Amino acid sequence: MFSVGVALNRESVPPKVAVAMSYQCKDCTYSQKGRFPAGGCPACGSFNVQRDHTDVLPRSDADGPKTWRLWVSIALWLALAILLYLKAVDA
């Protein structure tokens, strides 16, 4: 039996990128990158901690759905259906 490491080409697999998320205490507004130790705020000891979403990049319109791709796809499927129909009628 072979190992998974042998079957995969490890050089082609990109390394994982660690993203540090910031967390903020909702009681004293203390914030830091990464999780708070033991889940509590190191400044006041509160467990009212939430992820701060200011580190997330805003989504641009370029990342949104492309409606023109949908219309091109519909047009191509319609053209294929018409061509198949015409071929079936001629036969």
Token pair 């705020």: residue: 41
Angle ∠(67,72,74) on CA atoms, nearest 5: 95
Tokens of 5: 């490491």
Between CA 85 and CA 24 the distance in angstroms is: 62
pTM of the entire structure?
A: 0.38
Between CA 49 and CA 31 the distance in angstroms is: 9
Instruction: Write down the pLDDT at residue 49.
Output: 83
Give the model confidence (pLDDT) of 60-71 as tens digits.
Answer: 655 556 788 889
Which CATH code fits 17-56+65-90? Answer: 2.20.28.10
Which residue type is seen at 20?
A
- Give the phi and the psi of residue 23 in degrees, each rounded to 5: -120, 150
Give the model confidence (pLDDT) of 28-61 as tens digits.
Answer: 888 888 777 787 888 888 888 888 766 555 656 5
